[in-house]
């Protein structure tokens, strides 16, 4: 949510900043703006809408350096030109861009208004600009520190003073900030994707840190001013990874990348000698893992659904009680943290605020927590200190596809590892290793039948509601399918356990409400057939996601996926539902990579 990018160096800032904003569009936003310093003056342009709308109003000779730019996702104040960032002080000397929420903004605003400050926006961020301008400090760094001492809340921010253009000051508390190190130039962003074209060397700020950026380097310290030592890391992703190439949308590209992403997740982790998985990042030996009596998995959105699948896999293969729950609710119920419970935090970006807060709650109470994340060096990865990296590659589209698939595969590896430590036999271990190694090719075979899914999608265009059902792990597949469809096509979709249909949801079935049934040919297949019969008796259309073979009921459409082992079938059953959501959205003319009201990385509560 929101995006920050900044530059200081000898080049004109505007082209670099605008390119960075384009790179950050996937995070979700409703307005954009830019500010540069030139000859002691601040030049600002901002507007509601997309980055392309900002480009249209940008003057031809918008030159200057340093500069900062921002994409905003509205929290305080509606999306509008005046609420767009950057925000400035009364003298138009200080410019601030900010991700996060200032919780005591109302009290600070009243105090500043009583002192004669006239506000030009409804945002909490403008309060920061006025506070910084009022601080009696000789340096911009000192003024920012003094202002932040008065602030309560989350922030990732960058500050520019047009009269002191030799430095940018940035700070972090709960919202990601990454420094990019160039050749006698420095960059700052909320996400490494904005930096990869210019540098691969980055430094991640920690909460409570302030950094001063100059063209020839940077200094970091605590909010109180004590120096901190930072070590640069290298971004593994290349600039090409953030391009759509020949695809019309990032979502479609990332669906197509799943076979290779799956291979990377598996690479080096299949151990045929002992018919198990090798997961060195866990940093827990067999004795410690044997002491674990239950597992709780925390995530938000698709990460929470993948956690549900993961819990099912762990219970099946390791015979350990496992449970998934939304990280956003976890810490508010004052959870009991047990010493024999292993907690797992799941986040594609590694920056999801609610999940990070849950991790910190577990650690505060003495619990053990692992991370399953995609972004190396992200906050959750560093906070956990151990876990599994997905290595899925960057995911730009707001909706999660390849990282969801790779997360479930990571859970399969973890479940296999835990199972083999306990009582899963070598025969069963070997069976699963073989099935895991075959998944990338099986995913390719599904993707090759894209036209079949596009045809099925046509059957959903005229309806206003759709229902997804499944049993056991198939219910989690149904939840993810419904979430994808509603996220990207705006068609109302709900998922229910198939066994619950007769306990209420059956009242919703009509000839105008299609039901997508996830029905693998497992030991629950006949029960799924019975549920389909109940829907058919009420005239409900059926689309079946199943395996090859005769169906003893008539359906309006079906798609057969290749068979894997029963524990891994859900991974393959989910792929056609990703394509189904994509094609419904495409045929409805939606903005597929930027669904309304949503953001890729949710960094506020």
Residue located via tokens 């799941």: 346
Give CA separation, 365 vs 110, 334, 541, 559, in Å. 37, 10, 50, 47
Residue located via tokens 């993810």: 480
Intra-chain end-to-end CA distance of the chain, in Å: 11
Active-site position among 2, 88, 300, 406: 2
Q: Residue 599's closest CA among 338, 385, 343, 352?
A: 352
Q: Residue 522's closest CA among 543, 553, 547, 552?
A: 547
Gap between the Cα atoms of 602 and 100, Å rounded:
10
User: For residues 7 and 66, is the Cβ–Cβ distance under 8 A?
Assistant: yes
Three-state SS at 158: strand
Active-site position among 48, 253, 484, 600: 600
2 is catalytic: yes
Those residues whose C-beta lies under 8 Å from the C-beta of residue 284, and which sit 6 or more positions away, are: 368, 370, 386
47 is catalytic: no
Q: Residue 118's closest CA among 145, 129, 374, 601?
A: 129
Three-state SS at 264: helix
**How many C-beta atoms surround the C-beta of residue 41 within 10 A?**
13
Q: Which residues of 461-474 are buried (b: 16+ CB within 10 A; e: fewer)?
A: eebebbbbbbbbbb
User: For residues 347 and 371, is the Cβ–Cβ distance under 8 A?
Assistant: yes
Residue located via tokens 């208004």: 113
**How many C-beta atoms surround the C-beta of residue 54 within 10 A?**
22
Q: Is 366 left (phi over 0), alpha (psi -120 to 50) or beta?
A: left
DSSP-assigned states of every residue in 224-249: TS-B-----EE--S-GGGGS-TT-S-
- Residues 558, 572, 239: CA angle, nearest 5 degrees: 120
Active site residues: 2, 600
């Amino acid at each position: 949510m929101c995006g920050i990018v900044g530059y200081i160096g000898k080049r004109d800032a505007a082209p670099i900043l605008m390119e960075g904003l384009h790179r950050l569009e996937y995070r979700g936003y409703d307005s954009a703006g830019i500010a540069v310093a030139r000859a002691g003056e601040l030049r600002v342009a901002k507007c509601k809408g997309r980055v392309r709308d900002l480009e249209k109003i940008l003057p031809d000779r918008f030159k200057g350096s340093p500069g900062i730019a921002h994409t905003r996702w509205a929290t305080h104040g509606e999306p509008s030109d005046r609420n767009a960032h950057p925000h400035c002080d009364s003298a138009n000397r200080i410019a601030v861009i900010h991700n996060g929420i200032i919780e005591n903004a109302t009290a600070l605003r009243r105090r500043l208004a009583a002192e004669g400050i006239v506000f030009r926006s409804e945002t909490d961020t403008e309060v920061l600009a006025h506070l910084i301008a009022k601080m009696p400090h000789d340096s911009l760094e000192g003024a920012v520190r003094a202002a932040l001492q008065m602030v309560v809340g989350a922030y990732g921010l960058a500050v520019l003073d047009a009269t002191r253009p030799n430095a940018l000051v940035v700070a972090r508390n709960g919202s990601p900030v990454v420094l990019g190190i160039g050749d006698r130039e420095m960059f700052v962003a909320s996400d490494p994707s904005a930096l990869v074209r210019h540098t691969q060397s980055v430094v991640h700020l920690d909460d409570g840190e302030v950094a001063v950026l100059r063209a020839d380097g940077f200094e970091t310290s605590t909010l109180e001013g004590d120096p901190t030592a930072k070590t640069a890391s290298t971004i593994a992703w290349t600039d090409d990874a953030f391009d759509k190439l020949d695809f019309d949308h990032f979502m479609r590209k990332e669906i197509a990348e799943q076979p290779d992403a799956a291979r990377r997740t598996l690479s080096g982790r299949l151990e045929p000698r002992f018919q198990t998985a090798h997961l060195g990042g866990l940093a827990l030996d067999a004795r410690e893992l044997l002491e674990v009596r239950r597992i709780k998995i925390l995530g938000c959105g698709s990460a929470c659904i993948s956690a549900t699948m993961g819990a099912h896999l762990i219970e099946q293969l390791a015979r350990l009680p496992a449970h998934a729950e939304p990280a956003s609710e976890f810490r508010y119920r004052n959870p009991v943290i047990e010493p024999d419970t292993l907690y797992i935090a799941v986040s594609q970006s590694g920056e999801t605020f609610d999940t990070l807060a849950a991790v910190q709650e577990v650690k505060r109470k003495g619990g053990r927590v692992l991370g399953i994340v995609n972004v190396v060096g992200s906050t959750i990865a560093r906070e956990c200190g151990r876990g599994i990296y997905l290595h899925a590659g960057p995911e730009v589209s707001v909706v999660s596809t390849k990282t969801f698939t790779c997360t479930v595969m990571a859970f399969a590896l973890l479940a296999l590892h835990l199972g083999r430590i306990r009582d899963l036999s070598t025969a069963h271990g070997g069976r699963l290793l073989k099935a895991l190694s075959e998944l990338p090719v099986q995913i390719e075979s599904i993707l090759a039948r894209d036209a079949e899914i596009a045809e099925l999608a046509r059957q959903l265009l005229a309806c206003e509601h759709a229902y997804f059902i499944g049993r056991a792990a198939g219910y989690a597949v149904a939840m993810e399918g419904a979430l994808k469809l509603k996220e990207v096509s705006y068609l109302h979709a709900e998922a229910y356990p198939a066994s619950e249909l007769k306990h209420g949801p059956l009242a919703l079935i009509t000839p105008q409400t299609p039901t997508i049934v996830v029905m693998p040919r497992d030991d629950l297949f006949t029960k799924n057939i019975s549920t389909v019969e109940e829907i058919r008796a009420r005239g409900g259309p059926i689309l079946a996601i199943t395996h090859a073979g005769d169906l003893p009921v008539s359906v309006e459409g079906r798609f057969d996926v290749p068979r894997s082992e029963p524990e891994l079938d859900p991974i393959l059953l989910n792929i056609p539902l990703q394509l189904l959501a994509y094609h419904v959205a495409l045929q409805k003319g939606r903005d597929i990579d930027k669904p309304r009201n949503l953001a890729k990385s949710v960094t506020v509560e």
